[in-house]
Chain A
Amino acid sequence: MHPMLRTLSVPAAAAFAAALLSPTQAAAQEAGTYNGTLANGYPISLTVAPAATKGEFQVTQTIIEYKSDACTPGKTTWTGYVGFGPNAVISNSSKKVTLSYSSIEFYFSGYAKFNGATATGAAVSYVPVFAAAKGAPTSSVFCAAKLQKFTAKLGAPSPIDTSHGAKHAIY
């Protein structure tokens, strides 16, 4: 055994352990963009930034992309992405955050839990869109990114296909 460690007092050992742990704790909540997919393959992206309170982090932006099988009736092939800025603070103790948004044109409900450079969670969201994406519309359809678990990695390539365009500007 290393002589220094042998003579280390219990409080000092605790402090030493805490010092060793701090880099890991910091990594548990890192600012940056966490990209991943829902279990059904729908892309999701979470942006994390420092919160107003020192030492806290928040999710500043959440984006989800809908694929062509999201809408009913099934023949509709709308694709696009929708985002919102929840500015939801991540709990320092549980590393968990609730993400929600509700309006007449977009609904999102979910959570994320951060562990190192990985975020896991589950989400469901809905949007109403025209049945026809071009020209003069005549009806609307209901599109759902059904409740699915997801995994997202810090710094992973963005899964959002921006060529599809946003349903609304990301804000």
Chain B
Amino acid sequence: MTTFRNNMRAAAGLFIASLAVATPAAAQEAGTYNGTMKNGDTFQLTVTKATSGALEVTAGLFDFSVAIKCKSNSTTVGPVVGFTLSPPVVIADNKATISFNNGADDYVATKIEFSGSKASGDVTAAFAAFAAYTGHPTKAVYCPQVKEDFTAVLAKAVRGAAVPVPKLLFY
């Protein structure tokens, strides 16, 4: 589909690739965690260090490339959803729970537990869409993503290299 969500996929792929540089094992720290869900979908979460010294999750970018089936009919969607968290979600006891609803048609929720430079957890999501891709729309459908477990690893950009952040990706 020629939507904003899917138009972002190419840019998101480049963005993720630019960050996917292996780093040595480290204690939990700020940076971008690249994750892969059990079904193969990918995502990244940005962890930053607040002035208070606390680590917090500030942004997320999820690529649901595995088709999500909508209820009531055979329509499927495969969106890319990016967002910033305001306020950020503070990581407490190495854990964070994130829930993002854009107030319209994108919902992503994740529970994540950090362990050194790794993380694990699960993701659920839902989307609103038209019942059909073509023609004059007459009906909305609900498209839920079943809960998927994931693992993630900390990635860092090459020191000194500028990382192009596709700002349009974010709400």
Contact = CB atoms under 8 A, between A and B. Distances in A.
Contacts of B105: 105, 127-130, 140, 167
Interface residues of A, number: 31
Overall SS of chain A's interface = loop
Overall SS of chain B's interface = mixed
A105 B102 contact: no
Nearest to A135: B101
B109 interface: yes
A163 to B, nearest CB: 11
Contacts of B142: 130, 137-140
Contact of B77 (A104, A126, A142, A171): A104
Contact of B4 (A128, A141, A168): A168
Contact of B128 (A136, A137, A171): A137
A92 to B, nearest CB: 28
B91 interface: no
A25 interface: no
Interface string B136-171: 111111110000000000000000000000001011
Given A78-B104, A127-B104, A171 B4 contact: yes
Contacts of A80: 103-104
A142 B137 CA distance: 9
A140 to B, nearest CB: 4
Contacts of B2: 103
B134 interface: yes
A104 B130 contact: yes
Contacts of B15: none
Contact of B137 (A107, A130, A134, A171): A107
Contact of B129 (A128, A139, A165): A128
A138 B124 CA distance: 12
A154 B142 CA distance: 39
A104 B171 contact: no
Interface string B109-140: 10000000000000010101110011011111
Given A78-B104, A130-B107, A136 B126 contact: yes
Contact of A135 (B99, B128, B139): B99
A40 interface: no
Given A107-B137, A167-B105, A169-B4, A130 B126 contact: yes
B51 interface: no
A165 B170 CA distance: 13
A15 B139 CA distance: 57
Interface of A: 78, 80, 102-107, 126-130, 132-143, 165-169, 171
Considering the complex of A and B, which 6 residue pairs feature the smallest CB-CB distances, nearest first?
Answer: A128-B140, A140-B128, A142-B140, A140-B140, A103-B3, A140-B142
